[in-house]
Amino acid sequence: MIVFGGYTSLIALFFPLRTIYAQEQNSIPGSAIRILSKLKYLDKVFLGFGQASDYFNKTKVNFLVDSGNPIRDELLGLKQKNIDQFNNLLIIGGSQGSDFLNHLVPKVLGGINRNSLKIRHQCGLKHRKITQEAYKKNNVNNQFTISEFIDDMREAYEWSDVVICRGGALTVSELIKVRRSAFIIPIPNSIDNHQILNAKLFEERGFGKVFEQDSDINNLISNLRESILDNTSVKSYYEQLNKNSFTNSSKIIIDNLNI
């Protein structure tokens, strides 16, 4: 049995004689997996972020595996990018979209005068009209397209130079493994602040920059606009991304299952 967090994982309590694995996606483990670990129900934990090991018993041999988070097979193997000036900006708000990003990003872009900048904005179901209106209201003159969904994420990542997004564990993991820099604005009220911690790990490795939503909105707009115009920093983010080799997390997990 393998559990992935959330309270449904506690079903493992009813199977004390089974071999039970956990895959913890975030940089700080969720309550359910921590409970199972403390009660010694787990045989092995696969970590999406190595820093999560601080919350587990490190003395148990082969108990923790720093696997990283598996991502979709179609995203593996993207070519490295070398950036002198970034031109392609991708905004992703997740399957539901992000109302905050849908309103924030047009305000940021409305104050930028750079004709070479192109924008793709994924706004989420039923948010296209209001997002288009926000772009028009803020006089965004750059070429932009707005879509509710992205059917081909590999092509979208290949096209992108920089991504604006939230700080979910799988989003951050995808960015790392496809080697794309990002300006991450974590959801401020996520459980245990895991989105902020996920994003900070990305920033600390020199891959991009984190902006906190709780900050003054005018400062946030100004700082994000400044970063979009800062090609020198974006170039340095890609230098760091391209220095790293990233593992196939799915293979690591499969290889460590005792089956």
For residue 158, give the CATH number of its domain.
3.40.50.2000
Size of the chain, expressed as the number of residues it contains: 259
49 lies in the same domain as 99: no
pTM to 2 decimal places: 0.92
Using CA atoms, how far apart are residues 107 and 140, in angstroms rounded to an integer? Answer: 8
Say if residue 160 is in the same domain as residue 46: no
pLDDT band at residue 129 under the 50/70/90 scheme: very high
pLDDT band, very low/low/confident/very high, at 18 (cuts 50, 70, 90): confident
pLDDT at residue 259 in the model:
67
Q: Are residues 91 and 182 in the same domain?
A: yes
3-state helix, strand, coil in the chain (%, to 5): 40, 15, 45
Name residue 165's beta-bridge partners: 184
Across 46-53, average pLDDT: 94
In-domain check, residue 132: yes
Q: pLDDT at position 80, please?
A: 87
pLDDT band at 48 (very low <50, low <70, confident <90, very high): very high
210 in the same domain as 102: yes
Check if the beta carbon of residue 182 is closer than 8 Å to that of residue 210. Answer: no
Mean pLDDT on 236-250: 90
User: In terms of residue numbers, what domain contains 44?
Assistant: 2-66
